[in-house]
Structure 1
Amino acid sequence: MVTIVSPAPCLRCKIVVNCTNPNTISLLAALENVMKLYSIRPVMNLSTPTNISMYFTLYGILGVHTGIVRDANPVRVVSSCNLEIYTFPFDVQNCTFTFRSYIHHVSDIRIILGRKVEDILKRSISVLSTKGEWELMDIKSSKLKLSTFNQGESNPYDELCFYIVLRRRPTLYVVNLLIPSCFLITVDLFSFLLPPQNVDRSSFKMTLILGYSVFLLIVNDLLPVTGSTIPLINVFFAICLALMVASLLETILITNLLVGSSNFHPVPGWVRVLVLRFMGTLVWLPQKSREDKIILNPVAGDLKVCPLVTVERQVQKGEPGEMWAEAGNSALAELRKLGNELQSIRLQVAQHVDGNQISQDWMQVGYIIDRLLFGVYCIFITFSFIVILSIWSNSYNQ
């Protein structure tokens, strides 16, 4: 029994051979199952050299080889990149493909651009099969030479980067997200034209809020859930919902002021200054000045009143006697009673006028707040439309 260790390619580099029949044929038969025999010379005796005869015919000289190796086998590369979704659905993404060797340096392998970037872009657009949500806009390239230091020696290697610019097609999201939201906001805006004292505006606004909440739940699957920032469209939806809730609370406040303002305390001074004076002027609802109106009865002007002083003097002089004294006393008592009644009537009228003035002040506060929120609504919708149109236009100009 002999143990052989061979440098030739084999399945097990250490084998045991039976030497009962020591010849070349027996050796090859023993090594057939454990060694790749194509590496062994096809001779009967391994000590005999193998003679190889070679000849060729030269048909032409094509040129001198430049050392370029072409590997034309297609490779499918699946890559991912971070999305900047702040301007969703009008976002433009930039994905990077980097090709380099981690083993071989510039002295071994040099990576160069095989085609022009314009040709790569045209070819990619012509054969692009995924024409769905994304649109290929541009392809750019750059070549870098990075260096690593090993024992004080610089070992540079090539790096080739491709920058792929993609743009999202926003039509689907504009039709399914922005336009319905703008419709609901516009309806809520025009609900301010409903008179709160005659129409139940709060029920109408509550229905709008419920409809908008259902709308957000339905379109939640269309909104992006991954990204480094919060999309601007999410902020837009949140502000729209906040304005709807604020308008509902303001409607409840207005209704409360219109119904129960007669039982409220007078308007505080800071509310009178802040709301009635400054905000009222801002929304073109200035505070009306109080006017004391005295209505004169023309019939009462022709009546003649008998002076009581004369009666008292006549009674004191004793001209008509006791009858005049009794008449004077009864007249004075009736007049005093009438004066007290007139005084109470005057107090009631003054209290009623003051109550009406307090109610009018609180109602004026409610109207000013209502118009102020209406103005904020108009400004927000106008600003939102301007921002959306500018971002949309900028995405197409890139």
Structure 2
Amino acid sequence: MYKSAELQCSGSEAGPSYESLQTVFDRKPFRPTLNYSRPTSVNISFTIYAVLGVNEKSQILTTFLWLRMFWQHEFLTWTPAKCGAVEKISLPVEQIWTPDIIVYEFIDEDKSQRTPFVYVNHTGRVRYDKMLRVVSSCNLGIFHFPFDVQNCSLTFGSYMHTVRDVRLGLALPVEQILQNSLQYLETNGEWELVRIEGSPDILKFGIDEWDIITFWVVIRRRPVLYVVNLIIPSGFLMLIDIVSFFLPPHSTDRASFKMTLLLGYTVFLLIMNDLLPSTANGTPLIGIYFSVCLALLVLSLLETVIITHILHRGKLSGSVPGWVKSFVLGFLAQLICYKDKIDFSPPVLDLLPPDALSSGAERHLAFISQNLRMVREVLESKQQLQAQEEEWVQIGYVLDSLLYRLYLIFIGSYAIIIISVWCVWYNT
């Protein structure tokens, strides 16, 4: 039993004596208080030194932080005037009682370096600096990837001691914890620290209550890497697809070019698939963006197939139906202000009338006139077929121009929506 809570010092020794300290060391399993009805107050603060990684698939956040704890050890007090003016000493952390403060979200073994000593001043106030490599669970949302902001909680509390034994408090204001973390943050990688928020709370489990402090660490992804490697190349491929509409619709080069572009985009998605996060509870917006871009490339190729079919139909079918001609060449052409019209009126052959040729004196003139009439009929038939074919060609050009403008409107609207969603989320 302690007759006095104050440590004793020998006459010639600077600091508490070994014997008095050994008595304190023997009481390590017991909470250092003179009255067990009074809880021990533990004040904590921490500094985030690095954001080591975020695993979206496993929903894990890995950080490296320095935890600092203060508490009052009522048996480690002495009078500096009686102990050679010594006001502070360091003691082995294994030899004295330490609070069992843990991070509740911890899901892996702490592999960080252990701190072997604690500092104790003459008033009994103990300071314990502890390095932690925290592998914690976090509900990570990836919908707005790569412009996502993650809000992960770090809950500090005692593992066994309830509020009747250990009470927690803040050693520093939350704003100071944030400033220290921003000042000493060593990593300049994919993630940046935005803010830290914290508040004390009581954890209830059955009839017992534990004092806890929950900190919310808000980090934001630096999107430059993904913008350069994913979004910009995809935008270039879509731009090339838009430009390909300027190839002649009746040329087979357009279809082959679009098929090659579609194949290239598919290979691009396969190569960049490892950069995209994957979880079982959602799909990132950029994945939807890539899927829609791929669907647009397929629709672009389908549009080329339809226009090619219309352009070649004139060689296989007869004249254009009247309602098609009036709707496409009339209504749709005026709707899209299509003015590149072609004059299909066949040239008129200026031949002599049959009566004038047959009334000649010589018989061979009648024979020539008959042959010329046959040639004229053949030419008129070919010119009529050519005019019908050219009408189908003009219908194809009008439809191609209409579909191209609708394609541009859809791509423009889609791009504006995607960019707006990303910008609003990133700046919120």
Deviation of the 1:354 alpha carbon: 6.4
Equivalent residue in structure 2 for 1:223, among 260, 273, 276:
276
Distance change (3 Å), C-alpha of 1:241 and 1:141 = same
Hey, what's the Cα distance between the residues in 2 that align with 1:89 and 1:271? 48
Q: Deviations over 1:228-262 (max 9, x none)?
A: 32112112222222222222222233223223413
Hey, what's the Cα distance between the residues in 1 that align with 2:238 and 2:284? 20
Q: Which has the larger radius of gyration?
A: 1
1:204 alignment partner AA? F
2:153 and 2:214 in contact (8 A); partners too: yes
2:344 and 2:387 in contact (8 A); partners too: no
Q: Cα RMSD (Å) of the superposition?
A: 4.4
Distance change (3 Å), C-alpha of 1:190 and 1:66 = same
Hey, what's the Cα distance between the residues in 2 that align with 1:189 and 1:183? 10
Deviation of the 1:123 alpha carbon: 1.7
Is residue 92 of structure 1 aligned with residue 149 of structure 2?
Answer: yes
Correspondence for 2:93: none
Is residue 362 of structure 1 aligned with residue 392 of structure 2?
Answer: yes
Equivalent residue in structure 2 for 1:170, among 208, 218, 223:
223
Deviation of the 1:130 alpha carbon: 3.1
Higher helix share: 1
Is residue 187 of structure 1 aligned with residue 244 of structure 2?
Answer: no
1:85 and 1:228 in contact (8 A); partners too: no
1:359 alignment partner AA? E
1:250 and 1:369 in contact (8 A); partners too: no
Hey, what's the Cα distance between the residues in 1 that align with 2:388 and 2:347? 20
Equivalent residue in structure 2 for 1:208, among 232, 239, 261:
261
2:199 and 2:213 in contact (8 A); partners too: yes
2:149 and 2:426 in contact (8 A); partners too: no
Higher strand share: 2
Correspondence for 2:412: 382
2:157 and 2:211 in contact (8 A); partners too: yes
Hey, what's the Cα distance between the residues in 1 that align with 2:322 and 2:189? 63
Distance change (3 Å), C-alpha of 1:231 and 1:373 = farther
Deviation of the 1:140 alpha carbon: 0.8
Equivalent residue in structure 2 for 1:137, among 176, 189, 194:
194
Distance change (3 Å), C-alpha of 1:280 and 1:142 = farther
When normalised by structure 1's length, the TM-score is 0.61
Equivalent residue in structure 2 for 1:244, among 266, 273, 297:
297
Hey, what's the Cα distance between the residues in 1 that align with 2:172 and 2:310? 76
1:201 alignment partner AA? R
Hey, what's the Cα distance between the residues in 2 that align with 1:161 and 1:218? 41
* DSSP-derived class of the 2:239 partner: helix
Is residue 264 of structure 1 aligned with residue 321 of structure 2?
Answer: no
Correspondence for 2:337: 284
Hey, what's the Cα distance between the residues in 2 that align with 1:363 and 1:249? 18
Q: Deviations over 1:297-356 (max 9, x none)?
A: 6987xx8x99xxxxxxxxxxxxxxxxxxxxxxxxxxx9xxx9xx99x9999899767655
Hey, what's the Cα distance between the residues in 2 that align with 1:100 and 1:251? 65
Hey, what's the Cα distance between the residues in 2 that align with 1:86 and 1:147? 33
Question: How is 1:65-144 mapped onto 2 (pairs within 5 angstroms)?
Answer: 71-101=128-158, 103-144=160-201
Hey, what's the Cα distance between the residues in 2 that align with 1:214 and 1:289? 42
Hey, what's the Cα distance between the residues in 2 that align with 1:212 and 1:57? 75
Deviation of the 1:370 alpha carbon: 1.6
Hey, what's the Cα distance between the residues in 2 that align with 1:206 and 1:66? 80
1:83 and 1:227 in contact (8 A); partners too: no
Deviation of the 1:106 alpha carbon: 3.1
Hey, what's the Cα distance between the residues in 1 that align with 2:344 and 2:249? 27
- Consecutive unaligned residues of structure 1, counting only runs of 5 or more, are 1-37, 39-55, 307-333
2:346 and 2:383 in contact (8 A); partners too: no
Hey, what's the Cα distance between the residues in 2 that align with 1:232 and 1:273? 44
* DSSP-derived class of the 2:135 partner: coil
Of 284-293 and 206-215, more deviation after overlay is shown by 284-293
1:82 and 1:227 in contact (8 A); partners too: no
Number of residue-to-residue matches in the alignment: 305
Deviation of the 1:365 alpha carbon: 3.4
2:349 and 2:376 in contact (8 A); partners too: no
Hey, what's the Cα distance between the residues in 1 that align with 2:213 and 2:327? 65
Hey, what's the Cα distance between the residues in 1 that align with 2:269 and 2:393? 35
Identity %: 46
Distance change (3 Å), C-alpha of 1:268 and 1:110 = farther
2:249 and 2:400 in contact (8 A); partners too: no
Deviation of the 1:69 alpha carbon: 7.1
Is residue 394 of structure 1 aligned with residue 424 of structure 2?
Answer: yes
Deviation of the 1:189 alpha carbon: 0.7
Hey, what's the Cα distance between the residues in 2 that align with 1:145 and 1:80? 20
When normalised by structure 2's length, the TM-score is 0.57
Hey, what's the Cα distance between the residues in 1 that align with 2:215 and 2:327? 61
Correspondence for 2:56: none
* DSSP-derived class of the 1:228 partner: coil
1:237 alignment partner AA? F
